[in-house]
Amino acid sequence: MYAAPVTSQRTTPFRAGRRLVFVRTIGELWGQAQRTWWADDEPLCLVRWNFHTAELVRESAVRAGESGLRASSGGPRLMGMGAPRAGDGLVIVHECGAGARIVVTRGHKDMSAWTWPEEHVDTGVITDGRRIVLRHGRGSRLSWFAEGAHGPLRPWSLEPVRQILGEARLHVTALCDLGETLVVATFDTWSQWRWDGELIACWRAPAGEFSPSTLVAWHPAGPVVYMQVIDPATGRPGIGGDAFQLVVWDLARGAGRSLGPAYDWPRAAVRPTAAGWSPIA
């Protein structure tokens, strides 16, 4: 999945910055990075490779020539994967004949698994190491497993959001791990929760009529960065997917401003300053 640090010519474009200064190569990736984050002042990376295997690597392991924490379905397609910030575990969800199977791995051993009827669609997975939260199914439902996934999948009700904001489309579009809390994005709403299921705050998302805004980065203290489909002719929110723009949204004011066109699917991180980072699942 990775190789020891080398001086790669592929990184040459990233070495030309004056404000973004190249510091060091960690390693060569032979899979598709799903997420990167920092724990104990070192970077970690969650990588998907070989269609059916996930690996969680940290810089110290790469430098020591050690393998990362791996989990594999043994063949069937991975539907999703996640890992706690501490980097001491790995969760995969994969297709199986009965539907879907979740496997929780810690310390190079499969600790537990659970199978349930499910459609074979991509699944969002975030975990704090105790609770595993899933966005799953064609209806983009929200559910959770208790620690270790030793029991059945349980529904995570978004009804408190509806009670506060009124009628809204609540199929889940993204999950965001903020560390002590998590963010659930639906078609019409954004809501921040404690991992035990207590709602902290919710907002009406600046969704278009036909397509939701796509979260790109979430800073716990704001701002939020999202991507929005626009009509290329008018520059206004539209449909079709021919053009996108990046918008910086101030949660407190409920107002946004455009950063201009977005190309492909942007990845972003907001400088934490005094707060945490925010991967989107």
Partner 1 sequence: MTRAGRGLELWDLSTDTLVERLPTRGRAVQAIAFAPDSEHVSVATMQDWFVLRVAPA
Interacting residue ranges for partner 1, rule: CB under 8 A: 2, 8, 10-11, 13-14, 16-30, 32-38, 41, 43-45, 47, 62, 217, 223, 225, 246, 248, 257, 259, 262-273, 276-277, 279
What's the min distance (Å) between Cβ of 35 and partner 1?
5
CA distances from 207 to 40, 75, 144, 187 (A): 36, 38, 25, 7
Complex with partner 1: residue 76 or 222, whichever CB lies closer: 222
Q: Cα(131)–Cα(153) distance, rounded to whole angstroms?
A: 11
Complex with partner 1: residue 53 or 143, whichever CB lies closer: 53
What's the min distance (Å) between Cβ of 45 and partner 1?
5
Complex with partner 1: residue 148 or 266, whichever CB lies closer: 266
What's the min distance (Å) between Cβ of 114 and partner 1?
27
* Sequence-distant (≥ 6) Cβ neighbours of residue 120 within 8 angstroms: 77, 79, 95, 99, 100
Complex with partner 1: residue 91 or 202, whichever CB lies closer: 91
Q: Cα(271)–Cα(276) distance, rounded to whole angstroms?
A: 8
Q: Residue 109: helix, strand or coil by DSSP?
A: strand
Q: Going edge to edge, which strands form the sheet with 154-155? A: 124-127, 132-136, 141-145, 154-155
Complex with partner 1: residue 55 or 188, whichever CB lies closer: 55
What's the min distance (Å) between Cβ of 132 and partner 1?
20
Residue at 184: amino acid letter:
V
Q: Cα(252)–Cα(222) distance, rounded to whole angstroms?
A: 8
Q: Cα(112)–Cα(110) distance, rounded to whole angstroms?
A: 6
* Sequence-distant (≥ 6) Cβ neighbours of residue 10 within 8 angstroms: none
Complex with partner 1: residue 32 or 234, whichever CB lies closer: 32
Instruction: Output the DSSP codes for 161-184.
Output: HHHHH-S----EEEEEE-SSEEEE
What's the min distance (Å) between Cβ of 257 and partner 1?
6
What's the min distance (Å) between Cβ of 20 and partner 1?
5
